[in-house]
Structure 1
Amino acid sequence: MNRASVLTLAAIGVALAVGGFYAGRALNLPSRDLGRLGEGTASTTTDADRKVLYWHDPMVPGRRFDKPGKSPFMDMQLVPVYADEAADAGVKISAGVQQNLGIRMVAAKMTDVSSSIDAVGAVQFDERLNVAVQTRISGYVERLFVRAPMSIVHKGQPLATIFAPEWLGPQNELLALKRAGAAPELIDAARDRLKAMSVPEALLRRSEDAGTAQARFTLDAPADGVVAELGVRDGAAVSPGNTLFRIAGLERVWVVVEVPEAQGAQLVRGQRVSATLQSDAPQTFEGELKEILPQVSADTRTLQARFEVDNRNGRLVPGMLLRLKIAAATASRLVIPAEAVIRTGVRALVIARKDGGAFERREVKLGSELGGDVEILQGLRPGEEVVASGQFLIDSEANLKSALGGMAPPPGTPSTLGATAASSLPAVPVATGTYAAEGTIESVDADSITLSHGPVAALKWPAMTMAFGKPAPNAFSGVRPGDTVHFEFKQGSSTEWELVSVRKMGGAP
């Protein structure tokens, strides 16, 4: 044998070995075959004691045979399927293969979670501390001591001097009665009249002590705060009911926060809040949720929460921004790492390990994202293990196993074609061109039609059920599942057969 022949045989051997390895992975060989790939050994003694349900060709899983022998489709022996394999759902992977694939398992666990809301709020005046300064008499502002809004004032500080000429007449009447020695009842009645006209008590005493009517009086600040509104100027006329000053208190302030509508359910009146200045993080403040305003913004889909923050040191003024951390109640939740979840856009799946060691896909219902973890509301129990890395490899195996299982006949119904007859059918290459057959439509999809058809002699195909591609989504719209049809097909690509025509038996296509 020359050198070229030796190299050719060696290359063929390597190609067959590599092809067999990938075929076994792609077609989801039973767990015993995966074990061989990972560990290099198999127990023939155990296989001899196991019950064989049927034999099949892994490359054509839709056909089952009642005896061992050579596959009619490939140049290989039929593979037995055991009863324990057929009954066991899921995908089995040996420990060696798991280690080679880097599969990492994590357990679903209960953990105490205190969900919190981070938000930024703006400081506002606490309007419950606002005080209005008015005069109940007509007059004029003779002198204004506070001339600009947002000036800080203290309780008792003079704000303005008011001249009220309407007070002169009643005061002179009182003084005249006292000089004439009128009865005490008349003097008391005159004094009550002045009080009803809102003459300050101090002004009335000064008028009686001096013996002359007093028409000028000074308005003092009734509380500490900021002049939030200034309604007068020097020389301006005033009348009863006019608000001359509005003083806003600063002992406490409001912090109004925009909270997303989805997080509104986590807010409860009385919740404590920790706040820091956006411009100076070391400065911290404590507050309490006082009110959730009963409206939602149509533009931002947020609601407003009003927090009361202590400001006795006066460091907070309206317009400042505070970063708030709102702590919610602590609850125990079932969580797994977020990387363990396979998100399809419609469903959320995990690969869970069963009691027997096999893996199965399981649909779960997700809750809140908790950092690197995700809450599981439904689908898992505490302590169950899921795959955190390598789950996409197992999921692809599970998908393939499910698809191939759906193509096969029900268990326990082996093919009537025995091993002797099977081995008598030679394997031939797929021909080119168009082929014809008769069959029954099992299902009609947007891109394919599944048919149970008889043998195709030109391709050496036995009777089987398989899917054929459609040339267009609206092609063959007149056929329905259960129709008996005569159809023609061709090889559309290297892996798919495509229908050319479909005609009901005795009818129009």
Structure 2
Amino acid sequence: MRRQTIKKSVSGFVVVVALLAVGVAAGLWWERSQAPGDGMETSADAAPGGPAVLYWYDPMYPAQKFDKPGKSPFMDMELVPKYADEGGNDASVRISPGVSQNLGLRLATVTRAPLATDVTATGVVGFNERDVAIVQARSGGYVERVARLAPNDVIGSGAFIAELLVPEWAALQEEYLALKALGDPALEEAARARMRLGGMPESLIREVAASGRIRNRIAITAPRGGVIQSLDVRPGMTLMAGQTLARINGIGTVWLDVAVPESQADAVRVGQTAEAAFAAFPGKPVQGRVTALLPALDDAARALRVRVELPNPDGRLRPGLSARVSLTGSSGESALRVPTEAVIRTGRRALVIVAEDEGRYRPVEVILGPESGNDTVILSGLEEGQSIVASGQFLIDSEASLQGIVARGSESAAAMPAPVALHEADVVIDEVSEAYVTLSHGPFKTLSMPGMTMEFPLARPELAKGLKAGDRVRAGVRETDDGLVVEKLDKTGGAQ
């Protein structure tokens, strides 16, 4: 009895499954028979009252739009529809307040403020080349005695250097004393003039006149205090008139040679206030000012050399010390500013995410100016008072890319394209075609790239016109997200 009951239950279950299969098949047949064409509904066939499809796109290449569904030409996948209600327009992303809070989005406001020219750089202390004294022999003679000095010694003003014997002075002094004894003021003054022309200092002439004795030895002293940079006098030497005995550099003030990055060179002005902080003297910054902008840039560091003059009354600042320098000032002009952290730099352009009403966010391409403290100046693309995303903007930018949203700038931004920086070097062409060129190039100094032989893609086929292997040209390359691209091959500018 039990076996018969189980057998009946199993046979009943099989009958139920069979009936369900027949019902599903019948339903599918009926649905296909009622559907137009082949019965396959595409994403373009929106339901009545449903959202309209704006275009189709490949999520891996969202910038490319298609007007029909189908397979992506880039990837082996179906194109995805972009509906009209997915953001109100095709240039913004909509995020609910709850999601915004979870993402940690933080907003900031585009402000307008005076443009501060604050620059932080490093510098090295050097001598003040304007504070130099050259000690020379005014008359030929012999060195009888020299002080125990050596180069790099620090001496004070009036310090003894050497004693000279000048035989010619004896005859001039005897003539002066004889004419003085005659009591003729005119002759006496003429004799004084001859002694001056003979190289005697005024102090020695007064001493001879007062004592009435011959003084043909003179002590050479330092005209100012400082560091002895050179000392070319030894006992027993014979000196010629005008021969240099020593070179003394004062240390009352020093120069700070500051390397300002090329990108901030326009923010430095003569007369700016400078504050130098030395590791050797923590907590004791020294105030100075910019006295000169040197005409040549440092090729290796691509930096503008700026001269800052610092007071050094106690002589503790010695050449060779390094310092961190803050150059402060203001151009007097106002400019739009946003927090630097709000800017998305892609390599070829800069983006800012603008926050709009109803939780919509729109990427905007902007043109950047210099940095000022924690802010970056915006030359074009934004307006004062706009709200922007200062934290979490990279997530929104990624979502915009997935939805195929392309950032657009304002009309002024379109009229002011960012300048293309070309890095140039002298090269020799090894191979050339319409698409690529192989170059044996010298160093690209602005890229810190040494000389080598490598292949570059050409930006335009016409660049290769008229060129052949062995030609010497001046090449200009541009940095892109995919590497270096040749933008210029100037045959007339090549090395001869």
Assess same fold via TM > 0.5. yes
Once the 2 structures are TM-superposed, how far is the Cα of residue 126 of structure 1 from its aligned partner? 1.5
Specify the code of the residue in structure 2 equivalent to 1:319. G
Distance 2:199 2:128 in 1: 29
Taking every aligned residue pair, what percent have the same amino acid on both sides? 35
The residue that corresponds to 1:292 in the other structure is 293
SS at match of 1:283: coil
The residue that corresponds to 2:134 in the other structure is 132
Structure 2 vs 1, CA of residues 383 and 244 (structure 1 numbering), >3 Å: closer, same or farther?
same
**Does 2:293 align with 1:304?**
no
The residue that corresponds to 1:161 in the other structure is 163
The residue that corresponds to 1:204 in the other structure is 205
Distance 1:382 1:243 in 2: 66
- Within 5 Å, give how 1:86-485 maps onto structure 2: 88-91=89-92, 93=94, 95=96, 98-99=99-100, 102=103, 104=105, 106-110=107-111, 112=113, 114-178=116-180, 181=182, 183-329=184-330, 333-337=335-339, 340-355=342-357, 357-369=359-371, 374-387=376-389, 395=397, 398-399=400-401, 402=404
Unaligned ranges ≥5, structure 1: 10-26, 31-46, 65-78, 404-509
The residue that corresponds to 2:466 in the other structure is none
Structure 2 vs 1, CA of residues 192 and 147 (structure 1 numbering), >3 Å: closer, same or farther?
same
The residue that corresponds to 1:490 in the other structure is none
Once the 2 structures are TM-superposed, how far is the Cα of residue 173 of structure 1 from its aligned partner? 2.7
* Contact 2:117–2:268 (Cα < 8 Å) also in 1: no
CA deviation vs aligned residue, 1:283-304 (integer Å, no higher than 9, x gap): 2211010111112233332221
- Within 5 Å, give how 1:56-75 maps onto structure 2: none
Once the 2 structures are TM-superposed, how far is the Cα of residue 139 of structure 1 from its aligned partner? 0.2
* Contact 1:122–1:318 (Cα < 8 Å) also in 2: yes
SS at match of 1:192: helix
Specify the code of the residue in structure 2 equivalent to 1:188. E
Structure 2 vs 1, CA of residues 178 and 295 (structure 1 numbering), >3 Å: closer, same or farther?
same
Distance 1:254 1:86 in 2: 60
Distance 1:182 1:62 in 2: 118
Distance 2:373 2:187 in 1: 82
Structure 2 vs 1, CA of residues 346 and 276 (structure 1 numbering), >3 Å: closer, same or farther?
closer
Once the 2 structures are TM-superposed, how far is the Cα of residue 245 of structure 1 from its aligned partner? 2.1
Structure 2 vs 1, CA of residues 398 and 154 (structure 1 numbering), >3 Å: closer, same or farther?
closer
SS at match of 1:213: coil
Specify the code of the residue in structure 2 equivalent to 1:123. V
Distance 1:305 1:391 in 2: 37
* Contact 1:164–1:216 (Cα < 8 Å) also in 2: yes
Once the 2 structures are TM-superposed, how far is the Cα of residue 114 of structure 1 from its aligned partner? 3.6
CA deviation vs aligned residue, 1:375-427 (integer Å, no higher than 9, x gap): 43322223333445665665566556559xxxxxxxxxxxxxxxxxxxxxxxx
Query: How large is the Cα RMSD of the aligned pairs?
Result: 4.3
Q: Normalised by the size of structure 1, how large is the TM-score?
A: 0.57
SS at match of 2:118: strand
Distance 1:353 1:314 in 2: 57
* Contact 1:258–1:302 (Cα < 8 Å) also in 2: yes
- Within 5 Å, give how 1:28-43 maps onto structure 2: none
Structure 2 vs 1, CA of residues 107 and 234 (structure 1 numbering), >3 Å: closer, same or farther?
same
Structure 2 vs 1, CA of residues 377 and 312 (structure 1 numbering), >3 Å: closer, same or farther?
same
Distance 1:334 1:252 in 2: 40
* Contact 1:275–1:285 (Cα < 8 Å) also in 2: yes
* Contact 2:107–2:391 (Cα < 8 Å) also in 1: no
Once the 2 structures are TM-superposed, how far is the Cα of residue 271 of structure 1 from its aligned partner? 0.4
Structure 2 vs 1, CA of residues 169 and 313 (structure 1 numbering), >3 Å: closer, same or farther?
same
SS at match of 1:128: coil
Specify the code of the residue in structure 1 equivalent to 2:215. Q
Distance 2:255 2:288 in 1: 9
* Contact 2:355–2:388 (Cα < 8 Å) also in 1: yes
Once the 2 structures are TM-superposed, how far is the Cα of residue 184 of structure 1 from its aligned partner? 4.5
Once the 2 structures are TM-superposed, how far is the Cα of residue 97 of structure 1 from its aligned partner? 6.3
SS at match of 2:130: helix
Distance 2:349 2:231 in 1: 62
* Contact 1:108–1:380 (Cα < 8 Å) also in 2: no
Structure 2 vs 1, CA of residues 117 and 214 (structure 1 numbering), >3 Å: closer, same or farther?
same
CA deviation vs aligned residue, 1:172-213 (integer Å, no higher than 9, x gap): 23334455x474443433332222212233433444555442
SS at match of 2:214: coil
* Contact 1:273–1:288 (Cα < 8 Å) also in 2: yes
Distance 1:339 1:183 in 2: 88
Distance 1:278 1:190 in 2: 60
Specify the code of the residue in structure 1 equivalent to 2:221. D
